[in-house]
């Protein structure tokens, strides 16, 4: 499932299982601080597992990510991007919560 997040928060996965996230997180050259992050939420608390922060007046940056995550019941994965940060990528379930492989 493809996603693109800019200037906001989007929940990209809220289904149990093992997931692969692949994509890029990038910022532009700007006069403001820009931040992007990949966040796991357990239903009450956010935990940042990957982030990019570029200070004001810095050269734009772009970094790739390729992550494997496990989401138990009640958990979700969110992308958070401030204005000027873009997170593009896709998610794919590789196994269910019982560790049974999911064929593409």
The stretches in the chain having pLDDT less than 70 are 29, 31, 58
Spatial distance between the Cα atoms of 18 and 13, rounded to a whole number of angstroms: 11
Q: What is the pLDDT of residues 86-95, one digit of tens each?
A: 999 999 999 9
Q: What is the pLDDT of residues 70-80, one digit of tens each?
A: 999 999 999 99
What is the structure's pLDDT at 31?
Answer: 66
Place of tokens 């989007």: 10
* CA-derived radius of gyration, the chain: 14
What is the structure's pLDDT at 100?
Answer: 96
Q: Is the whole model's pTM more than 0.75, yes or no?
A: yes
């Amino acid at each position: 499932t493809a996603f693109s997040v800019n200037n906001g928060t989007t929940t990209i996965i809220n289904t149990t299982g093992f997931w692969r996230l692949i994509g890029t997180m990038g910022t532009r050259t700007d006069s403001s601080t820009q931040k992007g992050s990949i966040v796991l939420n357990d239903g009450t608390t956010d935990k940042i597992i990957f982030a990019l922060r570029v200070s004001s007046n810095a050269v734009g940056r772009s970094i790739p990510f390729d992550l494997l995550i496990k989401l138990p019941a009640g958990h979700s994965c969110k992308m958070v991007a401030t204005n000027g940060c873009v997170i593009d990528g896709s998610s794919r379930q590789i196994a269910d919560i019982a560790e049974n492989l999911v064929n593409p």
